[in-house]
Chain A
């Protein structure tokens, strides 16, 4: 069977002016199944976010290619949507207009746009805030808008770049639980980048440990926890075993970068 997403031997080197080139990705190969929830964990600066941007089509690899449903990715496309770490909401647009952005660029008629945006705002629990501006929202609410916006164009694949990293711990727990519910309902393929071992273990079907720069897939770990998952599951010995497995694989990468400070 051909996997839904297949990255083969992806290499990417940044060549900034007046500075040494940085190889962000080298020989990264990865396969993702349709409907799968896959997390990438790795040391900071290992190229996880770069890989996500390649998947999104904003960056082009120097070598190797990524196929999605048999088609080569060569630019942004409506079957993929990103949830950004720093939210990336347009400050001059209301919540409603922010959620409509993707549909607007896609050319969806205004009335359909409005209806669909309202549905999604409801899905992420922001009904009543349609006409608020981003600066009036808390971090958690902003990321709900980011999630609704990404879902609005009805993509097959949701790319999430440390979406909850800027949130406080409790909001983060809440958002994780809601993301799982939404994922369960919408059956999207999710590729989720995170620093947090716990987050990766709790959410994912599989966790990919990425090596320190240049990044490539070091180890794939199946998370064989039953679904639906709840918060209490994180307190079980099985969950701790999974965390330990991820940690053991990640540890060497942190140490090899000299940043093994126990995070």
Chain B
């Protein structure tokens, strides 16, 4: 068991880590020794590290995170509950599809964040306004991916289940749901990103708390290291959520796990 073996085994995380460390090192080195920088407009990793420590030890950041998370969770959960059944019905019933498709396609394609002022106006600057914004942004990936998944269900498998005596409910459970699942997971991945954008935009626009507000506030007051902490924390959260989603998929669809590693 030499170093080479270990490297081959963990090639992916090792190379990923090297590129990350490399980027930070180059950044720090450049702004320390190569280019003079104005701390009002730029910062460097060591300053960010100090700011991170301070913010993590304080309680303001944690409160902001809790507030943003609540809005995100409400909006996202509602998007799941509404989006998946709606997409499924659209995929299964042509009449529903034809009725709703133009409307949804237009909404999905348009930059919904432009509606943020209106949403905030109607639902207020608190939890509700932000949750509605998250919902609006996150629901369409669920609708369209579920719809596409249902539509692309293999007709042969439908025939197989019917041939063995399956009724309509058996088709849902044994064919349509499992074949749509990967599409839904892919939709969830998109929805996570869009939902985070929803929270942040809501808090940029009008709020006095939340991680989006914190980022905007630090920016406005030229506290760039602190601002970067907020941004980095958001990326980490997005990555963790996406990773959790992947693990979840492997648990509910183990056959795909084996397909992926092939």
On A, residues with C-beta under 8 Å from B are 56-58, 76-78, 81-82, 84, 86, 88, 90-94, 101-102, 105-106, 133, 135-136, 149, 153
Chain B residues closer than 8 Å to A77, beta-carbon distance: 165
Check: B22 CB closer than 8 A to any chain A CB. no
B163 touches which of A56, A106, A135 (Cβ 8 Å): A56
B164: contacting residue among A93, A94, A101, CB under 8 A: A101
| A233 → chain B closest CB, angstroms | 33
Residue B60 at the chain A interface, CB threshold 8 Å? no
Stretch of B37-45, B140-148, B170-178, B225-233 lying at the A interface: B170-178
A-B contact pairs, 12 of them (CB 8 A): A76-B164, A76-B165, A88-B159, A88-B160, A90-B160, A92-B256, A94-B255, A105-B161, A106-B165, A133-B255, A135-B259, A153-B164
B165 and A58 contact, CB distance less than 8 A:
no
For A93, give the chain B residue with the smallest CB separation: B255
Nearest CB in chain B: distance from A147 CB, A: 14
Assess whether B163 is in contact with A90, with CB atoms less than 8 Å apart: no
Residue numbers in B under 8 Å from A136 (CB-CB): 258
Residues of A within 8 A of B166 (CB): 105
**Chain B: interface residue total (CB-CB under 8 A):** 21
List chain A residues, Cβ under 8 A from B20: none
Q: A58-B159, A133-B258 known; A90 and B175 CB under 8 Å?
A: yes
Q: Which of B163, B175, B178 contacts A76 (CB 8 A)?
A: B163
Main secondary structure of the interface of B (DSSP, over half): helix
Complex Cα spacing A149 to B160, Å: 11
In the bound complex, how far is the Cα of B235 from the Cα of A106, in angstroms?
50
Interface pair B178/A90, CB less than 8 Å apart? yes
**Taking the nearest CB of chain B, how far is it from the CB of A74, in angstroms?**
13
**Alpha-carbon gap, A153 to B160, bound state (A):** 14
The reply to whether A78 and B165 contact each other, CB–CB distance below 8 Å, is yes
| Cβ contacts under 8 Å, B122 to chain A | none
Are B165's CB and A88's CB within 8 A?
A: no
In the A-B complex, the 6 residue pairs with the closest CB atoms: A102-B164, A88-B160, A92-B178, A133-B255, A105-B165, A105-B166
Closest to A107 in B: B165
Q: Which residue of A lies closest to B160 (CB)?
A: A88
The number of inter-chain residue pairs (CB within 8 angstroms) is: 59
Which residues in B have their C-beta under 8 angstroms from that of A92?
A: 178-179, 253, 255-256
Question: How far is B170's CA from A57's CA once the two chains are assembled, in angstroms?
Answer: 17
Chain A residues whose CB sits within 8 angstroms of the CB of B178 once the complex forms: 90, 92
A81 and B164 contact, CB distance less than 8 A: yes
**Residues on A with beta carbons closer than 8 Å to the beta carbon of B258:** 133, 135-136
Q: How distant is the Cα of A151 from the Cα of B2 in the complex, in angstroms?
A: 52
* Interfacial chain B residues near A58, Cβ < 8 Å: 159, 162-163
B157 contacts chain A at the CB level, 8 A cutoff: yes
Contact flags (1/0) for B159-202 with A, using CB distance below 8 Å? 11111111000100011001100000000000000000000000
Known: A88-B159, A92-B179. 5 other contacts (CB 8 A): A90-B160, A92-B255, A105-B166, A133-B258, A149-B164
Q: Which of B97-143 contact A (CB under 8 A)?
A: none
Q: Assuming A90-B174, A135-B255, is B157 touching A105 (CB within 8 A)?
A: no
Query: Which residues of chain B are near A78, meaning CB under 8 Å?
Result: 165
Among A78, A91, A92, A149, the one with the most B-chain Cβ atoms within 10 Å of its Cβ is A92
Contact of A88 among B157, B179, B253 (CB under 8 A): B157
Residues of A near B162 (CB, < 8 A) are 58, 76
CB distance from A156 to the nearest CB of B (A): 15
Smallest CB gap from A91: residue in B = B255
The answer to whether B255 touches A102, judged by C-beta atoms less than 8 angstroms apart, is no
Bound together, the chains give a CA A94 to CA B258 distance in angstroms of 12
Contact partners of B156 in chain A: CB under 8 A: 84, 86, 88
Cβ-closest chain B residue relative to A132:
B258
Please judge, given known A-B contacts A90-B174, A91-B255, A105-B170, whether A84 and B160 are in contact too, CB under 8 Å: yes
**Cα–Cα, bound, A105→B166 (Å):** 6
Known: A88-B157, A90-B175, A90-B178. A105 touches B164 (CB 8 A): yes
A78 to chain B, nearest CB (A): 6
Most A-side CB within 10 Å, residue of B160, B164, B262: B164
Is the Cβ of B253 less than 8 Å from the Cβ of A102?
no
Instruction: Considering the complex, give the chain A residue whose CB is closest to the CB of B178.
Output: A92
Query: Which of chain B's residues have a CB closer than 8 A to the CB of A93?
Result: 255
